[in-house]
Chain A
Amino acid sequence: MRILRERSPVVGDDPFQLLKGRVHEAQGRGRVAFALLQAARSTGPIFWIVRTHDRDRPMPCALPDGVVERLHFVEARNETDLLWTVEECLRAAPVALVIAAPEKTISLTAGRRLQLAAEAGGTTGLMLIQEGRGSNAAETRWSCNPLPGPQDSTRHRWCNNKNKKGTLGTHDVSWNGATAAVHLVTQAGERHQPEKPPG
């Protein structure tokens, strides 16, 4: 068995690349957008698991290109079934990405089991958690919120709040929702030092 440290960390300087074989978490009102970006970037079957009574559903005709064909949408009747399904999907090698929207707090035991399953299957998991209901076993935790932007833009602020093997950071992005590429937007801020004289 490989130790996690030996596994190559994030390849390149792409800040939104999720580590394979681990379970990540996303919270905030823009978490579905973050999940869709990860879905657009993955290659292979995607499983999206929700509770049956959850009213928010993805709209197939607005998803990024090539995602709907790979998407399997699972409705779980209760939280146990949901976690079981997530674990089964993570353990299956051909699955590329597992997105799940649990309602309750993921306990440390459950979070750890999911990590082990993801490690066994080499799949990436992304839990769309409610604010503050994550587990300590998560590899990274993202806080995603939409931002008001200029006319007709789709700005998002994606904060990496927790990262077990990397740096934290806040990124403002503009994503058109169709392709796997995002535009990083420079954050507007106050300048604390005088501008250098030209030349």
Chain B
Amino acid sequence: MPLADARAICPVLSTRPADPVGEGRALEALRRWASRYGPHAAKDGPDGLIVDVSGVAHLFGGETDLLEDISARLERAGLASNSAIAETRGAAWALARRGGGVIPEGGLLASLGPMPVNALRIGPEVAEGLTRLGLHRIVDLTSVPRAPLARRFGADILRRLDQALGAQAEPVAAEPDPPQFGVRMTLPEPIGLTADVMGILDRLLVRLCDKLASAQMGARAVRLELRRVDRSAAVVEVGLARAMRDPVRISALFRKGVDEVDAGFGIDGMRLGASVTEPLAPEQLKDVQIGNGKARQEDELADLISRIGNRLGFEAVQRFLPANSRIPERGFLTVPAAYAAPEPFPSRRRPRRPITIFPPEPLTGVSGNPPSRFSWRRMGFTTLCAHGPERITPEWWFDDPAWRSGVRDYWRVETGEGPRLWLFRTPQAASGFGDWYVQGVFL
């Protein structure tokens, strides 16, 4: 029924757009929860879960009690559900969608037989074709010759039939859980000394880095949680300038943070996790004697950036990248060095650019055009010669407040006092003649 018709019938209808991604995420969360009922839990289509409960049911007091437990827990969470237990996956699928319950062992054909053929996980057009032939129930399919059936409707229908009746095995293919990079340790006695905490941390780090190495990942941020005896917790987080999994180097970064933590009545549990990870390919073994000089240098540089970044913030350590713009302030990008590789700047010597740049500062006491005499930063200057003008127009597609005054005419002015300055004026500015600014100093 189209939405407009539904609204016409029931004006107070509340509707929401479907969110398949969100639903998938919710189902994934349910799948993780469902693994409490069996070692293999997998998603089954967009609306189902399948759990292999072979040999598990007695832990919950029997199969019927297990189903009751599932529905009770889901109901408490606000979810309506149907569940069934059967010898085969196909039978459980069919029964869960037709009321649920338990099919006792050996009762597959008796329970499934009276069901319509579309309980077999086949397409609607196949089911319709079977109905047209007079094969309404599953039990009808078992009595007709198989070969003509396969020729007419494809081998799929026989496979589904065999899977439902147990003639063909169908395992629960549970996808592997994504690796979780967290380790913890609970201590029999509370500890409080920095050296003790660092000792435990080193042990945890070895385990964490082993986990990372087996998944070929590297940590970008590591979080340490220290649980005190009174159930409060202190958190120490360090960032890393690049993905790594070297326990010794990560441990060195934690020293300052751990030193500042107040142990309170003592710490009796620690939890360490890599909160941000990145893929990191296995590294070639470095020969300590010969020394892989370049790689070691890069490691030490990354450690230095990590140390600075953890004190000043990672955005404080910057690197310049080229950008394509004629505007002097936007001719380069300033990015955190930890998140960008260096890029070569195009070698361009003309037009000349100043080596130092700052936000425009107005000149005072200007006479002449271009100025022959002016003062800047409380110093008087006389012009020896001036080169220019070089006209730079603002980029209209960016609204930059500094460039609202319009085009600028830049001059390179050599002064008798020595400094070579980058001056500009805005020709169309309202105040007209005296509007001179300095924006940079040349070599």
Residue among B297, B334, B359, B414 with the highest chain A CB neighbour number at 10 A: B414
A9 close to B (CB within 8 Å): no
Q: Are A88 and B355 in contact (CB under 8 A)?
A: no
Q: How far is B440's CA from A64's CA once the two chains are assembled, in angstroms?
A: 17
Known interface pairs A75-B312, A94-B301. Does A154 touch B420 (Cβ–Cβ under 8 Å)?
yes
How far does the Cβ of B441 sit from chain A's closest Cβ, in whole Å? 8
How far does the Cβ of A127 sit from chain B's closest Cβ, in whole Å? 17
Q: By DSSP majority rule, is chain A's interface helix, strand, loop, or mixed?
A: mixed
CB-CB contacts of B301-329 with A at 8 A, as 1s and 0s?
10111011001100011111010000010
Q: Are B337 and A72 in contact (CB under 8 A)?
A: yes
Binds B, one of A14-22, A51-59, A134-142: A51-59
CB-CB contacts of B349-370 with A at 8 A, as 1s and 0s?
1001111111100000000000
- Total contacting residues, chain B, CB less than 8 A: 50
B419 close to A (CB within 8 Å): yes
Residue among B303, B305, B344, B345 with the highest chain A CB neighbour number at 10 A: B345
- Of B355, B414, B440, which contacts A177 at CB under 8 A? B355
Residue among A73, A145, A151 with the highest chain B CB neighbour number at 10 A: A73
A62 close to B (CB within 8 Å): yes
Q: Are A60 and B316 in contact (CB under 8 A)?
A: no
Residue among A60, A73, A77, A146 with the highest chain B CB neighbour number at 10 A: A60
Which of chain A's residues 18-56 have a Cβ closer than 8 Å to chain B?
29-30, 32-33, 36, 44-45, 52, 55-56
A89 close to B (CB within 8 Å): yes
Range of interface residues on A (Cβ < 8 Å): 35 or more
Which of chain A's residues 70-88 have a Cβ closer than 8 Å to chain B?
70-77, 81, 84-85, 88
Known interface pairs A146-B418, A146-B419. Does A72 touch B356 (Cβ–Cβ under 8 Å)?
no
**Which chain B residues lie closer than 8 Å to A84 at the CB level?**
311
A-B contact count (CB 8 A): 130
Q: How far is B345's CA from A33's CA once the two chains are assembled, in angstroms?
A: 19
A129 close to B (CB within 8 Å): no
- Of A57, A88, A93, which contacts B357 at CB under 8 A? A57
Q: How far is B311's CA from A33's CA once the two chains are assembled, in angstroms?
A: 30
Q: Are B320 and A68 in contact (CB under 8 A)?
A: yes
Q: How far is B385's CA from A71's CA once the two chains are assembled, in angstroms?
A: 33
B331 close to A (CB within 8 Å): yes
**Which chain A residues lie closer than 8 Å to B418 at the CB level?**
29-30, 145-148
Q: Are A69 and B348 in contact (CB under 8 A)?
A: no
A178 close to B (CB within 8 Å): yes
Known interface pairs A45-B301, A146-B418, A154-B443. Does A60 touch B328 (Cβ–Cβ under 8 Å)?
no
A92 close to B (CB within 8 Å): yes
**Which chain B residues lie closer than 8 Å to A177 at the CB level?**
355, 443
B431 close to A (CB within 8 Å): no
**Which chain A residues lie closer than 8 Å to B417 at the CB level?**
148
Known interface pairs A33-B443, A60-B332. Does A74 touch B308 (Cβ–Cβ under 8 Å)?
yes
- Of A59, A77, A92, which contacts B301 at CB under 8 A? A92
Q: Are A56 and B356 in contact (CB under 8 A)?
A: yes
Known interface pairs A33-B443, A73-B320, A148-B415. Does A59 touch B353 (Cβ–Cβ under 8 Å)?
yes
Known interface pairs A57-B357, A81-B312. Does A29 touch B419 (Cβ–Cβ under 8 Å)?
yes
Q: Which B residue sits closest to A147, measured CB to CB?
A: B418
Q: Which A residue sits closest to B337, measured CB to CB?
A: A72
Known interface pairs A59-B328, A77-B312, A148-B415. Does A70 touch B342 (Cβ–Cβ under 8 Å)?
yes
Q: What are 26 A-to-B residue pairs whose CB atoms are below 8 Å?
A: A30-B418, A32-B355, A32-B356, A33-B355, A44-B297, A55-B359, A57-B357, A59-B353, A59-B355, A60-B320, A61-B332, A61-B353, A62-B443, A65-B347, A72-B305, A72-B318, A72-B337, A73-B334, A85-B311, A88-B307, A92-B304, A93-B297, A146-B418, A148-B384, A154-B443, A178-B349
Other contacts beyond A60-B331, A68-B345, A89-B308: 4, CB < 8 A: A57-B357, A59-B357, A69-B345, A70-B342
Using CB atoms and an 8 Å cutoff, list the residues of chain B in contact with chain A.
297-298, 300-301, 303-305, 307-308, 311-312, 316-320, 322, 328, 331-332, 334, 337, 342-345, 347-349, 352-359, 384-385, 414-420, 440-443
Using CB atoms and an 8 Å cutoff, list the residues of chain A in contact with chain B.
29-30, 32-33, 36, 44-45, 52, 55-63, 65, 68-77, 81, 84-85, 88-89, 92-95, 145-148, 151, 154, 175, 177-178
